[in-house]
Homo-oligomer: A and B are copies of this chain.
Amino acid sequence: MVYFDAASSVPLHPVARQALVAALDEGWADPARLYREGRRARLLLDAARETAADAVGCRPDELTFTPSGTRAVHTGVAGALAGRRRAGRRLVVSAVEHSAVLHAAEAHAAEGGTVAEVGVDRTGRVDPAAYAAELDGATALACLQSANHEVGTEQPVAEVAEACRAAGVPLLVDAAQSLPWGAVPAGWSLLAASAHKWGGPAGVGLLAVRKGVRFAVRGPADERESGRAAGFENIPAVLAAAASLRAVRAEAAAEGARLRELVDRVRARVPELVADAEVVGDPVRRLPHLVTFSCLYVDGETLLHELDRAGFSVSSGSSCTSSTLTPSHVLRAMGVLSEGNVRVSLPAGTPEEEVDRFLAVLPGLVSGVRERFGAPAGAGTTSGGTTGAGTTGAGAPPFAEAGAAEAAGAAGADSVVVDALGRRCPIPVIELAKVFGDVPVGGTVTVLSDDEAARLDVPAWCEMRGQEYLGERPADRGTAYLVRRTS
């Protein structure tokens, strides 16, 4: 098995394992107690805090251990908003934050606060000037991730921090994805992170709050962790988390450079090997280990399943892999294709051969899925393919499966309607592609769909194909998406 989902969680680092097992015998007592076992536990907790603070770049008394990165974000957002309530009730976030931040923002809105979302470009990056423009006198808090968890794009934290400083607004940085690779640029007011992303155990998050930042703890009082994280301290786990953060940081420069080259290989080869694949995210200003691409005419869940059967564990932002049936909010904010989406995030130590093997099996698997879904002719592996599977897609007859489009669209008509109601991603786009060749240049295709993914994928298909997307309008059922053939 090859595990390529480091952005989700990674196995315990050997250093973390060693620290954890050792501390099971030393760190189980209550560090608030005055007897020997308690004092020993307190020493371990203090040591963990110093190590973690050093890696974060803050003072130990600014750092709180929380039960998870999610809790660090929830506590940080709520506490900073409450502490700045007199300044105002406006919260500014980027549109591509982790769901922990967006859920905290929703909770704030539900309590009567206002939330401003700053959009991103097609690489997933916020524009510092656009972000700065949202910081008004009523803004209590701004949130910006250090790097995106789905596409790897680094955010302009230093520039946004400077804008926040100028506006007198504290900035909370969700550093969950980047902290293993290096400290966040200075200027943040609050910082959140999650240990199981860097080989620490589950159950440990970090919340750093700079001295001088107004912060009012919400919820019931508790004397532990400066009142910011209720409940008995998990000392073996925080020790392991701190030890592994230090260990991965020591290897970060060299390992990051090595993984960066492997990711560059994936970024370059996937579009050569797989027709109609789009690599998304910033090619340069990005996390070293993460790459995301999408494949037209592919169901993300099916592709993940095929990759799993072939021994590769990856994740996807496709709607079909989520219980909500909506594509990833990150891909939506970027305006890029969501269907057939695959996120590859390499754990430290990933051998080159595993990446090459992934590139070797991917094209055949994509072709197989496309064939199964009756993808249109022309979709398949391009001539750069290292396997022979590329011919499968290309060899599939255009109407291999009875498409819903047949009823509505007639070959050669100037205006064709594709009825994809009740069909889910990637079918609406497949049906669009199937009839598109039959429409004369200048003609239009209307796709009727009630699948949320179509809102993203029909325009993305136009962008990739160089065709004109004319927009959407409500239909009797679902939504009508209008496309004009320009070439």
Cross-chain contact A33 with B234 (CB below 8 angstroms) = no
Bitwise interface map of A from 16 to 40 toward B, beta carbon under 8 Å scored 1, else 0: 0100110011001110011111100
CA distance A36 to B4 in the complex (A): 12
Point out the residues of chain B lying under 8 angstroms from A20, CB to CB: 24
A11 to chain B, nearest CB (A): 5
Known A-B contacts A21-B21, A107-B219, A237-B203; A71 and B230 likewise in contact (beta carbons under 8 Å):
yes
Cross-chain contact B28 with A196 (CB below 8 angstroms) = yes
Cross-chain contact A221 with B106 (CB below 8 angstroms) = yes
Within 8 A of B (CB), among A1-17: 1, 3, 5, 8-12, 17
Known A-B contacts A68-B67, A103-B220, A202-B235; A12 and B35 likewise in contact (beta carbons under 8 Å):
no
- Contact of A231 (CB < 8 Å), options: B5, B35, B67, B233: B67
Does A74 have its Cβ within 8 Å of any Cβ on chain B? yes
A37 to chain B, nearest CB (A): 6
Does A428 have its Cβ within 8 Å of any Cβ on chain B? no
Known A-B contacts A202-B236, A220-B106; A70 and B231 likewise in contact (beta carbons under 8 Å):
yes
- Contact of A33 (CB < 8 Å), options: B5, B223, B232: B5
A398 to chain B, nearest CB (A): 31
Known A-B contacts A202-B234, A220-B74, A232-B202; A9 and B29 likewise in contact (beta carbons under 8 Å):
yes
CA distance A308 to B36 in the complex (A): 7
Task: Specify how many copies of this chain sit in the oligomer.
Answer: 2
Cross-chain contact B107 with A203 (CB below 8 angstroms) = no
Q: Which of A313-321, A360-368, A469-477 makes up part of the contact surface?
A: A313-321
Does A419 have its Cβ within 8 Å of any Cβ on chain B? no
CA distance A49 to B320 in the complex (A): 28
Does A201 have its Cβ within 8 Å of any Cβ on chain B? yes
- Contact of A104 (CB < 8 Å), options: B24, B69, B220, B231: B220
Does A205 have its Cβ within 8 Å of any Cβ on chain B? yes
Cross-chain contact B37 with A3 (CB below 8 angstroms) = yes
Cross-chain contact B220 with A100 (CB below 8 angstroms) = yes
CA distance A69 to B313 in the complex (A): 34
Does A304 have its Cβ within 8 Å of any Cβ on chain B? yes
Q: Can you name the residue of chain B whose Cβ is closest to the Cβ of A240?
A: B24
Known A-B contacts A28-B11, A219-B107; A202 and B233 likewise in contact (beta carbons under 8 Å):
yes
Within 8 A of B (CB), among A319-338: 321, 323
Does A97 have its Cβ within 8 Å of any Cβ on chain B? no
Point out the residues of chain B lying under 8 angstroms from A276, CB to CB: none
Does A222 have its Cβ within 8 Å of any Cβ on chain B? yes
Cross-chain contact B10 with A28 (CB below 8 angstroms) = yes
A250 to chain B, nearest CB (A): 21
Does A301 have its Cβ within 8 Å of any Cβ on chain B? yes
Q: Can you name the residue of chain B whose Cβ is closest to the Cβ of A307?
A: B35
A22 to chain B, nearest CB (A): 12
Does A194 have its Cβ within 8 Å of any Cβ on chain B? yes
CA distance A20 to B21 in the complex (A): 9
Q: Can you name the residue of chain B whose Cβ is closest to the Cβ of A308?
A: B35
Cross-chain contact A70 with B202 (CB below 8 angstroms) = no
- Contact of A9 (CB < 8 Å), options: B8, B203, B232: B232
Point out the residues of chain B lying under 8 angstroms from A70, CB to CB: 222, 230-232
Point out the residues of chain B lying under 8 angstroms from A219, CB to CB: 74, 78, 107, 219
CA distance A278 to B461 in the complex (A): 81
Does A305 have its Cβ within 8 Å of any Cβ on chain B? yes
CA distance A225 to B8 in the complex (A): 17
CA distance A196 to B27 in the complex (A): 12
Point out the residues of chain B lying under 8 angstroms from A233, CB to CB: 202
Known A-B contacts A38-B313, A202-B236, A220-B106; A231 and B30 likewise in contact (beta carbons under 8 Å):
no
- A-B pairs with beta carbons under 8 Å apart, 17 shown: A8-B33, A11-B28, A20-B24, A33-B313, A35-B307, A67-B68, A71-B230, A74-B220, A99-B222, A100-B220, A103-B220, A103-B221, A106-B221, A107-B219, A107-B220, A202-B236, A205-B231
